[in-house]
Amino acid sequence: MTRPPCLRAWFEFVLFVGDMYVKSSKPESEKVTKVVKREKRKPAVKEVPVDEVFPELMIVGTNIAKNKSYYLAQKELIQRVAHGIYIPTDRIADGQAILKRHAIRLASLHFKNATGLSYSSAFTLEAITPEAGPPLVFVAGDYSYGLELGEGDIRLMLVQSLHPPYEMLKQDGEYELYEDKICSDPIGEFVVKVPRPELLVLHNFERVKEWSEKRIANEHLKSFVKWIVDARYDGSIPAFSANFAELAIRCNRLEEHDHAVTALLAEGFSMSERYLRKIV
């Protein structure tokens, strides 16, 4: 039996509506969201080995980098004793002696425009090098100036003295009476300018009313001059005496020359004034 077209169309419409109702009544499947918990990444921290041995003195830009000095100071492994200068925390009780052992290097770093070392601080580079370092370090410059490094009980005094005009004589752009000297400390070797050692002997007998540390100790004077004679004059006292007299005349330091000869004779060193008198 064939259904009328109108009835067939109505029947298909009813099936379509029913199918749509069934689909709309089904619950949608829930989407499962996988949540992954990310742990916060920790910055890598470079730990300092507990057995690392630090130098007794650390100078930023010389034997330690600025960032490392900051890190070690934050860890309280080193302690700041002056701007850019650190000492291991476990050696801070010896801080005063440590600064003195490095006094000449520190002076050369802080007085870059100075002519060079002068007075007894230069003397300590030669025949006698006291373990504790010089009592004070003097440099020759265009004006007088004192610089104290350190904090609290750990302090080091550096002094720039006005150099005498005769020391500023130049030849081929170099100071005639100054020479390069390679010296060393626990950090290593470095170069400083120092006066000729004969000039230091004259310095020692200048009349100064302050800074007694400028003078070479009397007990060291004889050994210092003996070192000059052996190292620079092949052991010839007459050769040294003649050169010493010529230098005194050139610097107009005749009185200092006489005092030096008298002091050396009193110590049993066979100096003679005849070279000075012969030239004059």
Q: What is the mean pLDDT of residues 32-37?
A: 56
Does residue 4 sit in helix, strand or coil?
A: coil
Domain total in the chain? 2
Question: Which residue range(s) make up the domain with 127?
Answer: 53-195
As a 3-state breakdown, the chain gives helix, strand, coil percent values, each rounded to 5, of: 40, 20, 35
pLDDT tens digit string along 111-142? 988 888 888 888 877 766 666 667 788 998 88
pLDDT tens digit string along 139-179? 988 888 999 999 888 999 999 988 777 777 777 878 888 98
Q: Identify the domain boundary among 155, 170, 195.
A: 195
CB distance 81 to 99 below 8 Å: yes
Q: Identify the domain boundary among 174, 195, 216.
A: 195
Structure tokens at 104: 């000449």
The answer to whether residues 100 and 157 belong to one domain is yes
pLDDT tens digit string along 179-203? 898 888 889 999 999 988 999 899 8
Domain annotation covers residue 171? yes
Looking at residue 113, its pLDDT comes to: 86
Q: Identify the domain boundary among 163, 180, 195.
A: 195
- pTM (global) more than 0.75: no
Domain annotation covers residue 174? yes
Domain annotation covers residue 24? no
* Helices 197-204 + 218-232 axis angle, to 10: 160
The answer to whether residues 125 and 156 belong to one domain is yes
The answer to whether residues 191 and 214 belong to one domain is no
Domain annotation covers residue 46? no
Looking at residue 25, its pLDDT comes to: 54
